[in-house]
Amino acid sequence: MRLLELRAPHMTGPDVRRLQTLLKAAGVSPGPIDGDFGPRTAAACNHYKWRIGYAAGNCHPVAGGLVVEFLTGKRKPSAKMRLRAARRRRQEQQEHKPKTKRAKMRLRALAIVKGEIGTREQVENVIKYNKWWGWGAVAYCVIGISWSWVKAGSKAFKRGSRWANTDAMLADAKAGRNGLHLLSKPLPGSPGVIDFDGHSDPDHGITCIRVDGDDVITGEFNTTKNGTSIEGVWNKRRALRNCWWFAVER
């Protein structure tokens, strides 16, 4: 089997479709079963590896013959992997139970983002989130997310250092570093990034408000109000297939 990875243009074919079918059967969401290896299928590969106990630094968002062997049951996880998987299952259960510490923090972050909808820039990139961060009038789509999570009580996000740009945030989530890991499907309040042009690089920070079919309604910092040129914090509708989503562990 060839190594499937996120490229521009995306890798396509029946092997991608088979991988997507196996991932879905394993309980992770690769998006539509369409034979297109986009961000959501890549994230599903990472999430599946995380779930079955791969070491955090080895949960790369790619798939080859070894992953397919695990998916089809031809290969079984080692004892060390099973221990990691059990611990991570407990973590995931905390995400989905509304009264757990992690879920409460995520829902606080969601409420904070929703409360900022409609906040406008004074002039280009001059807004309270940048004043808080301390770098001046810079792009703040991720800085706004960091501001929200710090206010919600997260220890993963840190003022002035984690995070200010999409590349660094996605890299840490892919590697399972600094309190982030990838999700195959967002929950309300999940932070993420979106790849607008399909070139495999993240372009913009986003927060899931709710999933609506194949789309997601987001809260976004450093964006324009629909139908206008007014910059600030607004809701958007985005295609789920173009998004990467993160779980915040602390």
Q: pLDDT, tens digit, for every residue of 198-226?
A: 666 899 999 999 999 999 999 999 999 99
Residue type, 47: H
The two beta strands, 204-212 and 215-224, are antiparallel
Residues 126-151: pLDDT tens digits? 999 999 999 999 999 999 999 999 99
Please, which residues have CB within 8 angstroms of residue 60's CB and are 6 or more apart in sequence?
A: 45, 46, 49, 174
Where in the sequence of the chain do the CATH 3.90.1720.10 domains occur? Answer: 97-248
Closest Cα to residue 38, out of 197, 203, 236, 221?
197
- Tallying the residues shown for the chain, one arrives at 250
Cis amide linkage into residue 32, ω under 30° from 0? no
- Token pair recorded at residue 249: 């562990």
Closest Cα to residue 178, out of 110, 104, 249, 236?
249
Is 98's pLDDT higher than 90? no
Q: Which residues on neighbouring strands pair with residue 247, listed in sequence order?
A: 181
* Overall pTM surpassing 0.85 (yes/no): yes
The model's confidence at residue 57, banded by pLDDT at 50, 70 and 90, is confident
Residues 164-185: pLDDT tens digits? 999 999 999 999 899 999 998 8
Q: What is the fold of 97-248? A: endopeptidase fold (from Nostoc punctiforme) (3.90.1720)
Closest Cα to residue 37, out of 56, 18, 59?
18
Q: What is the mean pLDDT of residues 153-161?
A: 97
Is 69's pLDDT higher than 90? yes
pLDDT at 123: 92
Cis amide linkage into residue 61, ω under 30° from 0? no
The model's confidence at residue 94, banded by pLDDT at 50, 70 and 90, is confident
Is 105's pLDDT higher than 70? yes
The phi, psi pair for 162, rounded to 5°, reads: -135, 115
The phi, psi pair for 161, rounded to 5°, reads: -140, -40
Residue type, 204: H
Please tell me whether residue 189 adopts helix, strand or coil conformation: coil
Q: What is the mean pLDDT of residues 19-43?
A: 94
**Whether 249 contacts 156, CB under 8 Å:** yes
Burial string for 146-173 (b: 16+ CB within 10 Å, else e) reads bbbbbbbebebbeeeebbbbbeebbebb
Binning the chain into helix, strand and coil, the percentages to the nearest 5 are: 40, 20, 40
Edge to edge, what strands does the sheet with 243-248 contain?
Answer: 180-183, 243-248, 191-194, 204-212, 215-224, 231-239
Q: What is the mean pLDDT of residues 45-49?
A: 94
